[in-house]
Chain A
Amino acid sequence: MISSTSTISNYVPLDVIDRILLRLPVNALIRFLCVSKEWSALINSSNFIKKHLDHSIETNSDRTLILKEIFVNPPSQSRWFSVPYSDNDQFGKAVQICQPLHNWEILDYCHGLEICSAQSVSLNGAFHWIVEQDNGSESILAFDFSNEKIRLYRKPSNEDLASLEVLGGCLCFIECCPEIPTYNDFWLMKEYGDESSWTRIYKIESDAVLWNTDYFKPLLFSKNGKKVLMEGVSLIWYDIKKKRGKKVRNRSFPKRFKTATCIESLLLLDGDNVIDPRQKKNKRKR
């Protein structure tokens, strides 16, 4: 239904259009690339792509969960699903997708530092591991793909048993205490690269959450940032203030699965922000 006023052309300057388009999901932006050459140039500009991604991270929007079914016999038959998430507490239907990546091995030893856990997290174009130096002290190693440089960051606490994740666009450090009473303590590096910005955001104690697991992997913040979606035995919404968890029930999910999060962005559409393997080859030739 079009109201009579909207059939008359509504001239809006491009800088205002820009701020409206920032709020659209990726599929709408891809569609609107063919509105005109001007819109296409705007949506394809690296400036817009960056602002759109920042806006999505800031407003906790445009995210998708990737579920990998755990299928024991034979494991190769595990299916992959994508679950759109936009509103609080509500998940869309899980849709089966192709396996997104080939299984590949991750380095376990790097530049004289022992990598404490094989698990790594990628953020801001770098991979991160918890590593142990020769003197036994632990820190966080970041390996930047764009310049192949390594940096070390201080951990926010000295607890040995810890893990890294990405939450709300920030590096997340999780301290896991295996002794009773067990707890998970969650820290965020609010300003990437700034060790003084480590902020403790919440702590889950075993007596507050009754599920039989000692590690909760944080996946995403709810849109208003009051809850965190976590993967324990199943998916759980954890209310930070009330310190209470609630199981997510959705019949379209597989029985057992592993989860990853993905923020929709336009990044791949623009070569500028993506590592181009051809460029690297050329550099080496020189």
Chain B
Amino acid sequence: MSNTSENPNPSSSSAKITLKTSDNELFEVEEAVAMKFCTVKQYFEDEKDNDVAARGSSTVIPLPNVHSAVLARLISYCKKLPQSNAVADNHEEEETKKKERKQYGTPGDLVDLISAANYLDFKEGLEFFNQALADHIQNKSVEYVRKFFGIKGDFEPHEEEKYREEYAWAFEGVDED
């Protein structure tokens, strides 16, 4: 009887894993969520082999490359995961998805999310945020893209000029920066 009072609903009390971000914040997440991050999964399994996991939720996995603000967004994204990467059924749905992809932050935030997803080896997340950034730069000018990614144009001005003339069609209909 005492068991039931301690653990009234066994299914909701799945194992938790604690993640520690670069700014020393602790996140307690469900194991199922944490296992989406292959880097965490690998770390967790190695720990298990070393028998450290016997201490259960006291294991803290350090993520020195991920800031708490970014991790919070990745976790909130994880909870919506099943639907978000499915292909839209029609035009309206596609538009809704595009809007949804925009909700995860400014384009600059997306870069942080992509870097974190890349570090965590979080495949679905990487796919989603890559698409969000692709949506963002698709209609942008070359100047915008250079500025955005901090790239210096290294073509000779006359080379670039010639190229722009030859492929003028690719430079039409570009959004304003």
Please list the residues of chain A having a beta carbon within 8 angstroms of any beta carbon in chain B. Answer: 2-3, 5-13, 16-17, 19-21, 23-25, 27-28, 30-40, 59, 87-90, 223-226
Q: Give, as a whole number of angstroms, the nearest-CB distance from A112 to chain B.
A: 46
Contacts A10-B108, A16-B114, A36-B154 known; A28 to B139 CB distance under 8 Å? yes
CB <8 Å contact, A11 and B149: yes
CB <8 Å contact, A5 and B108: yes
CA distance A59 to B93 in the complex (A): 16
Q: Give, as a whole number of angstroms, the nearest-CB distance from A10 to chain B.
A: 4
B107 sits at the interface (CB 8 A): yes
CB <8 Å contact, B151 and A36: yes
B33 sits at the interface (CB 8 A): no
CB <8 Å contact, B133 and A20: yes
CB <8 Å contact, A88 and B130: no
Choice from A9, A23, A24, A87 contacting B91 with Cβ under 8 Å: A87
B60 sits at the interface (CB 8 A): no
Residues on A with beta carbons closer than 8 Å to the beta carbon of B55: none
**8 Å CB contacts to A: which residues of B139-161?**
139, 141-142, 144-155, 160
CB <8 Å contact, A88 and B170: no
Choice from A6, A90, A226 contacting B148 with Cβ under 8 Å: A6
Most buried by B among A8, A11, A35: A35
Q: Give, as a whole number of angstroms, the nearest-CB distance from B45 to chain A.
A: 25
CB <8 Å contact, A33 and B152: no
CA distance A25 to B139 in the complex (A): 10
CB <8 Å contact, A88 and B160: no
Q: A31-B174, A35-B142 are in contact. List 17 more A-B contacts (CB 8 A).
A: A3-B106, A3-B107, A5-B107, A6-B106, A6-B108, A9-B147, A10-B111, A12-B149, A16-B130, A27-B169, A36-B152, A37-B155, A38-B151, A40-B155, A87-B88, A88-B94, A89-B91
Choice from B91, B150, B153, B164 contacting A11 with Cβ under 8 Å: B150
Contacts A23-B131, A223-B88 known; A16 to B170 CB distance under 8 Å? no
Q: Give, as a whole number of angstroms, the nearest-CB distance from B95 to chain A.
A: 8
Residues on A with beta carbons closer than 8 Å to the beta carbon of B115: 12, 16
Contacts A9-B149, A20-B130 known; A31 to B171 CB distance under 8 Å? yes
Q: List 18 A-B contacts (CB under 8 A).
A: A5-B106, A5-B108, A9-B147, A11-B149, A12-B114, A12-B115, A19-B126, A20-B133, A24-B138, A27-B169, A28-B139, A31-B170, A32-B142, A36-B146, A37-B154, A88-B88, A223-B88, A224-B87
Hey, what's the 0/1 contact readout for B89-127 against A, CB within 8 Å counting as 1? 111011000000000001111010011001000000010
Choice from A6, A9, A20 contacting B134 with Cβ under 8 Å: A20
CB <8 Å contact, B114 and A34: no
Q: Give, as a whole number of angstroms, the nearest-CB distance from A133 to chain B.
A: 42
CA distance A5 to B107 in the complex (A): 8
B177 sits at the interface (CB 8 A): yes
CB <8 Å contact, B155 and A34: yes
CB <8 Å contact, A28 and B89: no
Residues on A with beta carbons closer than 8 Å to the beta carbon of B155: 34, 36-37, 40
Q: Give, as a whole number of angstroms, the nearest-CB distance from B176 to chain A.
A: 9
B35 sits at the interface (CB 8 A): no
CA distance A31 to B86 in the complex (A): 29
Residues on A with beta carbons closer than 8 Å to the beta carbon of B29: none
**CB-CB nearest 4 A-B residue pairs:** A9-B150, A5-B108, A30-B170, A23-B134
CB <8 Å contact, A34 and B164: yes
Choice from B89, B137, B147 contacting A88 with Cβ under 8 Å: B89
